[in-house]
Structure 1
Amino acid sequence: MAIVMWQDPQASDNSGVSPVVTTTFSPGSKFPMGSTSVAYTATDGSGNNATCNFTVIVYDPIPTVFIGCPSDLYEFTPENEATAIANWTEPMVTDNSGIEPNVSVDALNGDRFPIGITVVIYTANDESYNTATCAFVINVTDSIPPVFFGCPVDQFLSTPANESTSMADWTEPTATDNSEERPVLTCSHFPGDHFPIGQTFVTYKAIDESQNAAVCIFSVHVDDPFPPVFTTCPLDQDIVLGPDEGNATANWTDIMVIDNSGLAPIVTQDHESGDVFSIGSTLVTYTATDNSSNSATCSFTITVLDTIPPRFDGCLNVTRVPTPVNDSMAVVTWHDPQASDNSGVSPVVTKTFSPGSKFPIGSTSVTYTATDGSGNNATCDFTVIVYDPIPPVFIGCPPDIYEFTPENEATAIANWTEPIVTDNSGIEPNVTVEFQPGDRFPIGITVVIYTAKDESYNTATCAFFINVTDSIPPVFVGCPADQFVSTPAYESTSMADWTEPTATDNSGVQPVLICSHLLGDRFAIGQTFVTYKATDESQNAALCIFSVYVDGKRQ
């Protein structure tokens, strides 16, 4: 209720007499809430009426009050659902009018709420139209990420030859969400993309409207099966050392290597150009390794050739040593020659004899051999001559022998007892002779010489003569018979003709033939002796004599 004050309205009438005024409410009256009509009625003496009407409105300016308005609620959607149930204690409402307000609400306790924020508003209106609200938020959170279907398995590929990438293909995955809204799908790569060598992660991301995200991740492994390629690899080198050089510096051009990945391989080597190499063969190896651990090697050999043989200092000449008395051996001493090599490493020296060794009579070669690490050899050779100064001795050297040729033979057999030879060294000398007992010897004098030579080249000789005498005269063949001729008329001589005889000799040598007359000579009347004489080299002579008779009766 409210006391309402106002000024009474004044009434007048044309009659000049104040009319009688009546009212339904007087100022200061209590009025209930709401609209109340107040009426003033003025009645003049003639019974004429006039009214003054106005409304008193008593209103409630104090709004309704909610008690226990719920706080904001936070709910999560269950798996595979797009809504969540929210429960709360409903608020109570009072009004100062004592009249229960009219309450309205757009959602009820236990309702299902969609993902997101839903504002629940309780509205209370009292009869004075005062309004009060109780509002709180139902925040339904979608905590369930999308779900991928058909997420590809890891892909394993190899690069084609001379390429650094490989194309990968797969069936793209799909994604669903409990919100029943299609999630937004993004991906890092697409089917048909080219992938570099190595492992690349392909990521598909599905995001729902609540920003829940799910990922589908798989790897594309691109294997590089091809090793790097050396485009240049040095050739083997042979370096010949000069005198007094023990090592050599080797230089080569830069190594070039490529890889199909397009990336420079890591190159390691055990030697570098400009390094110093010792005598012998050294394998130089470059190894190129790409990011896939494929490796290739470039190898070449640096051969430092030592063709310089070692050198001897103090190599001896011929050493002559006599044997002691009645000894066939001699002890010989000398200083070992010294060997050096350009490599700086002492060569290995071997020798056939050492100083202080015993040597037999004769020449013995002593050889020192120095071999360096490259197999080059140098030798120091000298001869040790152990000589016997006493010559051999012949015992029983034969006397001169005299022989005669048999008939019809040009030689004669001679026999003798061979001499014996000894030497003080105790070693049998070497004996040479050009004839042996029982040999045939030609007519004349032949010297038979036995020569004995010991190992110190001392010589002795035993010489005697074989004197073969030819006592057989030559033999004529075809000695002519006597010739009988007559002188021509009136002449005192006549010419004679015959076949000349021939002569042979047992020596086999043609004897010398002389004659007293020649074919075609003229002969005087009477008997003339014609003589052929054959004489061999031993002065044995034979005669062929015939007569030429010239008859002079025709005169």
Structure 2
Amino acid sequence: MHSCPSSVNSQLSQRQNGYYIHVGSNNDIRTMYIPTVPATWSDFCLTFYYYISGRSDLAIEQYDNIASNYRRVLFISENIGQWKYISLQLINSHRYLELVGRASNGKVAVDNICNSKGLCVENKETTAMTCPSNVTVETDTGAATASVNYSSAIHTNCVNDSVISPDPTQIFPAHLGIGVEQFTFIATDSSRNNHTCTFTVTVNDTEKPKLSCPKDETVNTDEGSATASVDYSSKINASDNSGNTSTIIPYPNETFPVDIGIGVHTFTFTATDSSGNNGTCRFTITVQDTEKPTINCPPDETIYTDEGSATALVDYSSKINATDNSRNITTISPNPYETIPDDLGIGAHTFTFTATDSSGNNGTCTFTITVQDTEKPTVNCPPDETIDTDEGSATASVDYSSKINASDNSGNITAISPNPNESIPDDLAIGAHTFNFTATDPSGNNGSCTFTISVQG
């Protein structure tokens, strides 16, 4: 379409309801003069847009000063109900052009009237509306939205001042939430033709949730227990760029608190956001047993040697035992059943046993068994005897030293008092002579014997 000179357009400043001619009432007629063209134009092209509905018509007539000297160059009577474009090739043979619109049960409107010098050319000006293709974008890092700007990608190829609604520069840039959002824009050209384009922007959330777990930790078993009671539920939490609460599996408040046994325990948690993205964290709790085993020994005790023996046979194996918080059987060293029973000699005997649990903790107990000898030594004296004085003597020479001896359960040689070898041999006078000997063992036990020698003349 030719562009109208500004001088012509300015002459068409009087408008009706926004149009150059508008007949909106039944049985009404409106007439408008189209400005004259320069006399130097031999021919010219008249172009405009028109709208007719109902039983209405539109006519264009050329005439001079004499009203009867006119020529109708166009008559349109059609119920089309939409805007149409028309171009008329005219000869500049009359002074005036008159536009006559008549409405009968309908409407008539004319717009964009233009006179141009020369021949009419085909109206090839069409409005093409361009939008971007459907787009898929990702959310901005750490955000629940994506920042997009497609204002420069929404345009028309029209040169006749098309208006795009809504204004792309008012819509973009935009922060779009997760999901699909559709945009529709309508371009209206100066001929009131509408052209539409639509596109969608799909915002995907591909960012993993941030899941926080506590640091790896080493804890001790609870006192007297094989386990440690732990609760890390408040230290496991997740956040997501979407701003929505992520689902944590397994649920921390169902996992903790918990009693966990001695050893290494690894916990893994996964957070899933509303877009199905997964974030994982794990931590390890090492439960160590630092509690010593409890080992039981019998109390210290004093016992006596077995009768006639230098030792006491004892057995405390069943009284030496150990327990541990781990509930595992501990190792006792030395083995009570290999150490006791035993024959213990006279004196104090101290025993020490050590129990070791599976974590290497040691517990010790000690007890002392004192073996005492309370058994008297056995002293042997010769039997009582009557003897005669030696011939021609008033005494009898005797020697019983070899017949006086002692023995003791301790096995040690006991001391005999008085010493037989010092008391006898001796010369005994006539009469009865009683001898008493006492044997004492290392434990201070005493045994005695007595015998009488009667000497007669």
TM-score (norm 1): 0.30
Higher relative contact order (CA 8 A, sep 6+): 2
Larger radius of gyration: 1
Would you tell me which structure has more helix in proportion to its own residues? 2
TM-score (norm 2): 0.35
